[in-house]
Amino acid sequence: MVKEGPLSGLLVADFSRVLAGPYLAMTLGDLGADVIKVERPDTGDDTRAWGPPWTDAGAASYYVGLNRNKRSVTIDLNDPEDRELAVRLANRADIVVENFRPGTLARFGLDYESVRERNPGSIYVSITAFGSAPQAAGLAGYDLLVQAMSGLMSITGPPDGPPYKVGVALIDHIAALQATVGTLAALHHRNVTGEGQHVEVSLMGAALAGLLNQASGYLATGEDPPRLGNRHPSIAPYQTFEAADGWFVVACGNDNQFRALAGVCDLDHLAGDERFSTNTARVANVDALDEILTDTFRRQPVAHWVHELNRAGVPAGPINTVGQAFRLAADLGLGPVVEAAGERTVASPIALSSTPPTYRRPAPGLGEHDAEIRAWLANDA
pLDDT at position 350: 96
Which residues, at least 6 apart from 238, have a Cβ–Cβ distance to it below 8 Å? 231, 232, 250, 251, 252, 253
Q: Is 143 assigned a catalytic role? A: no
Question: What is the CA angle 304-312-294, rounded to 5?
Answer: 50
Q: Let me know whether 185 and 314 are in one domain.
A: no
Q: How far, in Å, CA of 170 to CA of 207, rounded?
A: 9
Q: Let me know whether 205 and 57 are in one domain.
A: yes
Residue 220 lies in a domain: no
Structurally, the chain folds into a number of domains equal to 2
Is the model's pLDDT at 144 over the cut of 80? yes
Whether 181 contacts 174, CB under 8 Å: no
Residue 7's alpha-carbon distances to 24, 42, 169, 183, 360, in angstroms, are 13, 31, 27, 12, 14
Q: Let me know whether 181 and 244 are in one domain.
A: no
Spot the catalytic one: 82, 94, 111, 172.
172
Is the model's pLDDT at 2 over the cut of 90? no
Q: Let me know whether 90 and 149 are in one domain.
A: yes
Is the model's pLDDT at 272 over the cut of 80? yes
Q: What is 98-150 written as a DSSP string?
A: E-SPTTGGGGGT-SHHHHHHH-TT-EEEEEESS-SSTTTTT----HHHHHHHT
Q: Which residues pair with 39 in a beta bridge?
A: 74
Mean pLDDT of the chain: 96
Q: How far, in Å, CA of 256 to CA of 272, rounded?
A: 12
Q: pLDDT, tens digit, for every residue of 106-135? A: 999 999 999 999 999 999 999 999 988 988
> For 232, phi and psi rounded to 5 degrees?
-110, 140
Q: Let me know whether 307 and 367 are in one domain.
A: no
Q: pLDDT, tens digit, for every residue of 95-109? A: 999 999 999 999 999
**Domain span at 159:** 11-211+347-378
Q: How far, in Å, CA of 86 to CA of 73, rounded?
A: 10
